[in-house]
Amino acid sequence: MARQQVGRGSIARNAPVSFTTGLVTAAASTSTSRRVPKRGRVEDNEAAGPSKGSKVARSEPASDVHPFFLPKKEGEPGPIQWFGWLGGTCRHGVHLQPKSSTKVAAFDLDGTLIKPKSGAKFAKDHEDWKWWADGTTIPKKLKELDEEGYSIVIVTNQALGEPPKGKSKDLDARAKLPRFKKFFDKLTLIASALPAVPFRVFVATSKDQYRKPIPGTWFELEKLFRNEGIEIGNKSYYIGDAAGRDGDHNITDRLYAQNIGIPFHTPEPEIVLFVGYPAAGKTTFYKRHFAPAGYVHVNQDTLKTKPKCVAAVREAITNGQSCTVDNTNRDLATRADYHRLAKELNVSIRALVWNITLDLAWHINLYRAHFLSDAVQANEIAREMLGYGVFTQYQNAFQPPTVEEGFSEVKTINWIFEGSEEDRRRFNMYLDVS
């Protein structure tokens, strides 16, 4: 087996991740134009939270009046149960009982899950919000993720004002600030609108180790999960709107995912073109890194014709879904239709380029067609051997994608072997059918 990953950068706008092709994987490099800030030291304070299976006790109302209309008792938890402040600046809370899972779906808040209902750049009050998409897509998707076993985590930077002079460590004073109250009241409304979706939330309120892109909140999450014997795995990802694109207010979300080492996506639909030899592991790369985030898979081996691929991309974007075009996409002419479509639909288009030689691609082609171990075959779709001419045609026609061509970003996926000792023994053998 092998692995494809992106070293220190983002893939599905992502960061270093790894993937197993059933035969090959790879490691990829990034092309972020801005300097990545160094990680800050994270204080070793404990983020309190409910233990696995714990329940929050609620007091019973003393009358027949519905609890909704009763005043909340002092200390009684609301839709979000808040714990201690991390480092005195970052608030951590949970809605319902979020699971601890190897799979984490993490989200920015403003501009990703919600946006101002008024249409203003910033919310006017705690009620000035609505779901980012059509009002039902976000709650439905979050519910699906929960049912699929994902732990849902919201990580947000908030400039909520400074506490009164001389009371910087007074947490009660901070909580009474008008902007603090407005924001946390809004979170209460958001939680109430997700009555069956448990989630965890981190609110960074100062410029310290908890403020994105510094991954202090993620370190705290890892610590919480490790206390339950759970390590966060490579099916996790982060979605945010601050991606460093033209018109974006910042690049913090992309760099946050990059610092953590998980895939990064934006809430807006996008087109991602895979560019590489046949047998390079592109399809399994999609399955490992893009399918979990809901990207539509467009592949000419399945659809048979280029026009059908273009039509499938149009349908996905029109429906608000991102998609990957998993073909060789070897030259400018082949990619031109997708550039025209991206411009017409006003969406970004990115390229992932597999850095692999003809000889290696040919070797992988033989290996996956004839020489996989039984253990790998059990989890892989059978592949027929492709003729050598397919590979030389790609080599002769290849034109590398560039930003000047129209891509918002071009990333390189490098190849690294990953597998059992038996898989490695088989892969390292001399294979030839001439």
**Domain boundaries defined on the chain:** 2-33+269-427, 76-243
The label of the residue with tokens 């609110």 reads 203
Looking at residue 169, what is its pLDDT?
59
C-alpha 215/C-alpha 262 separation (Å) is 12
Burial of 329 (0-12, 13-18, 19+ CB in 10 A): buried
For 431, residues 6+ apart whose C-beta sits below 8 A from its C-beta are: 363, 366, 367, 370, 371
Looking at residue 433, what is its pLDDT?
76
- Cα–Cα–Cα angle for 82, 215, 94, rounded to 5 degrees: 20
Looking at residue 26, what is its pLDDT?
34
Looking at residue 55, what is its pLDDT?
40
Looking at residue 225, what is its pLDDT?
98
Q: For domain 76-243, is the CATH number 3.90.550.10?
A: no
Looking at residue 165, what is its pLDDT?
58
What Cα–Cα distance (Å) separates residue 113 from each residue in 11, 336, 338, 371?
21, 32, 28, 46
Looking at residue 167, what is its pLDDT?
54
* Domains 2-33+269-427 and 76-243 are alike in CATH topology: yes
User: Is residue 153 a contact partner of residue 136, using CB atoms and an 8 Å limit?
Assistant: no
CATH of 2-33+269-427 among 3.40.50.300, 3.30.300.160, 3.90.1150.10, 2.60.40.680:
3.40.50.300
For 228, residues 6+ apart whose C-beta sits below 8 A from its C-beta are: 51, 52, 100
Looking at residue 92, what is its pLDDT?
96
Looking at residue 372, what is its pLDDT?
83
pTM over 0.75: no
C-alpha 264/C-alpha 290 separation (Å) is 10
Q: Which residues of the chain have pLDDT under 70?
A: 1-78, 161-172
Strand partners, 93: 82, 201
User: Is residue 22 a contact partner of residue 376, using CB atoms and an 8 Å limit?
Assistant: yes
Looking at residue 13, what is its pLDDT?
42
Looking at residue 248, what is its pLDDT?
87
Looking at residue 177, what is its pLDDT?
78
Looking at residue 365, what is its pLDDT?
94
pLDDT tens for residues 264-285? 988 989 999 999 999 999 998 9
